[in-house]
C-alpha cells in the first residue's frame, strides 16, 4: 500500500511517499500533517524572501541575536561548524555582508521532521524536498532515487537504491549562479553542472554537496567518511566516488 502527499513549502515542492500496510493509518496522517506544519514554521523563521522572517529582521538590524527564535542561534552554530568542517567552502556569511543560512536550513529541517516519520512503526518513507531526499525504510526494501540530468529535468543520469539515509544535489542548472565561492567572494564557476552526495544525514549531504560543487575538480576530497558523490560534467560524463551506488 502506498500514499503520497505534495505541498509547496519553503519555496519548493515537498513530496512524501509512505509505503506499507499502515500507510493509510490515522497515525500516518497525523505525522504528515505535523511535518508540513513544522516545515512551514521553519520557512516563517528562516525565509530570506519574507520580510517579516526572523532572518530578514536580523539582517535589517531590527532584532539582535539574543532576541531571535532559539532555532536561529542553533542554525548559526551549525553553519559555523559546517564552515570549519568544509575548510571554508561552505559559508553562510555573504561576501557583501549579511547572513544566509539557506544552504543548511533545508537539510537541517528535513532531518528534524524525519523524527516524526521514524516514530511511526511499520511504514517506509521517501521524503523529497526540492530534489534532496531522505529515506527511512524499516522494511529494508529500498527506494530507487534518480539523479536529475542538469541539461534536461525530465530525465535522470543515474539512480541508486537506498534503504536509509539521504541524497542531496548542488549545482547551478536549476537556479542559475546562486552559489558563491567563499575563497574569492565571487559566483562559483565550475566545469561540473552538479554534484550529488549520499550519506546518513541530509543536513551533512546538503552541506557537502554545496562545498563539493564550489571546490570544482577537487570535489571528491571534500567528502567526509561515509559520504559518496556523483559529479555530472557539462559534456554529460559522470564521475563517481568508489562507494557511490553501494547500499
Extents of the domains making up the chain: 2-240
pTM: 0.94
Q: Which of 85, 78, 130, 84 is nearest to 104 (CA)?
A: 78
Contact 36, 14 (CB under 8 A): yes
Residue range 150-175, pLDDT digits in tens: 988 889 999 999 999 999 999 876 55
pLDDT at 161: 95
Contact 138, 126 (CB under 8 A): no
User: In the structure, what pLDDT confidence band is assigned to residue 83 with cuts at 50, 70 and 90?
Assistant: very high
Give the CATH fold of the 2-240 domain. Answer: T-fold (3.10.520)
Contact 102, 109 (CB under 8 A): no
pLDDT higher than 60, residue 202: yes
pLDDT at 171: 85
% the chain with pLDDT above 70 = 97
Q: Which of 134, 113, 117 is nearest to 206 (CA)?
A: 134
Mean pLDDT to the nearest integer, 58-79:
96
pLDDT at 111: 97
pLDDT at 151: 87
Amino acid at each position: 500500500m502506498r500514499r503520497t502527499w505534495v505541498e509547496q513549502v519553503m519555496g519548493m515542492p515537498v513530496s512524501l511517499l509512505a509505503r506499507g500496510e499502515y500507510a493509510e493509518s490515522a497515525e500516518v496522517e497525523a505525522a504528515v500533517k505535523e511535518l508540513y506544519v513544522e516545515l512551514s514554521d521553519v520557512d516563517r523563521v528562516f525565509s530570506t524572501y519574507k520580510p517579516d522572517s526572523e532572518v530578514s529582521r536580523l539582517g535589517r538590524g531590527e532584532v539582535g541575536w539574543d532576541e531571535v527564535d532559539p532555532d536561529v542561534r542553533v542554525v548559526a552554530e551549525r553553519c559555523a561548524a559546517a564552515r570549519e568542517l568544509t575548510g571554508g567552502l561552505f559559508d553562510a556569511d555573504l561576501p557583501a555582508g549579511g547572513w544566509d543560512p539557506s544552504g543548511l536550513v533545508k537539510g537541517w529541517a528535513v532531518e528534524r521532521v524525519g523524527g516524526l516519520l521514524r516514530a511511526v512503526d511499520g511504514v517506509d518513507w521517501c521524503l523529497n524536498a526540492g530534489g534532496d531526499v531522505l529515506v527511512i525504510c524499516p522494511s529494508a526494501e529500498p527506494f530507487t532515487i534518480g539523479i536529475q540530468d542538469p541539461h534536461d529535468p525530465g530525465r535522470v543520469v543515474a539512480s541508486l537504491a537506498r534503504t536509509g539515509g539521504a541524497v542531496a544535489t548542488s549545482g547551478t542548472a536549476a537556479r542559475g549562479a546562486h552559489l558563491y565561492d567563499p575563497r574569492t567572494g565571487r559566483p562559483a564557476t565550475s566545469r561540473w553542472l552538479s554534484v550529488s552526495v549520499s550519506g546518513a544525514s541530509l543536513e551533512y549531504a546538503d552541506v557537502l554537496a554545496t562545498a563539493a560543487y564550489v571546490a570544482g575538480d577537487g570535489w571528491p576530497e571534500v567528502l567526509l567518511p561515509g559520504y559518496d558523490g556523483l559529479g555530472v560534467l557539462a559534456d554529460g560524463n559522470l564521475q563517481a566516488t568508489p562507494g557511490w551506488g553501494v547500499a
